[in-house]
Amino acid sequence: MFLVRRRHEIKRCFIVKRILTVLAAALLVSLLAVSASAATAENAEAIAEAREGQEEMRRDYLNAGWKDISSRLQAEAHAAEIDPDTWELAHRDLEAAAEEEKEAILAARNEIIYSYSWSIDEVTSYVLDPEKQEFGFVPSFSELFPEDWDVPCQPISEKDRKALEEQMAASMVAMSEEFVAQINDIFSF
C-alpha cells in the first residue's frame, strides 16, 4: 500500500514538474519574444504606469523624511569612460550603414550600454539605504540612450535555455510549496 501511494506521489510530482517546466518555458519564450525597445506604442502604457508608480513612491519616501539620490545615480550612470572612437561608431546611423559596418555599430552600442547602470523602461528599479534613509531610481534605458537604440538581446544556447527552464521550474515549485504552506497556515484553525 505504501509503495503504491509513494508511486502515485512520485507520478503526481513528476506531472506537476512537467507542467511547471512547460509554464516556465512559455514564460521564458514570452519574455524573450518581447521587444524591449524604448517607448514603442505597445509598451507606452506600461511605461506610463511605471512612471506613475515611481512618482508615488518618490512622494511616499520624501514624506517619510528620506533623501532622493536619483540625480546622483543618473550622474554615476553617465560617468562611464567610453573610448571616443567607440562612442562615435555607436552613434552612427545604423539604417544608413553598410551591412559590414552594422555589426561593428551594434557591438559599440552594446559596449556602451553594458558600461552603464539602467533598467528597462517598463520597470521601476530603485536602490534603498535604510541606514542613511536614502532612495533613488535607477535611470531607464530611454533616459540614457538615443531613441533608435534597442535594448540588447543575447542569444541563448540550448544548454543555457534548459538550465534556465530547470531553474525557473525549481523556483516555481518552491514558490508553490511556500504558497501552499501559507494557505495551510491561514486555514488551520
126 neighbors 137 (Cβ within 8 angstroms): yes
Q: What is the DSSP letter of 140?
A: B
Q: Distance between CA atoms of 57 and 62, rounded to whole angstroms?
A: 9
Q: Which residues of the chain have pLDDT under 70?
A: 1-42, 77-80, 154, 179, 186, 188-189
* pLDDT value of residue 67: 92
Neighbours of 103 (CB within 10 A): 10
Confidence at residue 85, expressed as pLDDT on a 0 to 100 scale: 92
Q: How many domains does the chain have?
A: 1
Per-residue pLDDT, 105? 93
Domain span at residue 154 reads 2-187
* Residues 70/137, Cβ–Cβ less than 8 Å: yes
pTM (2 d.p.): 0.52
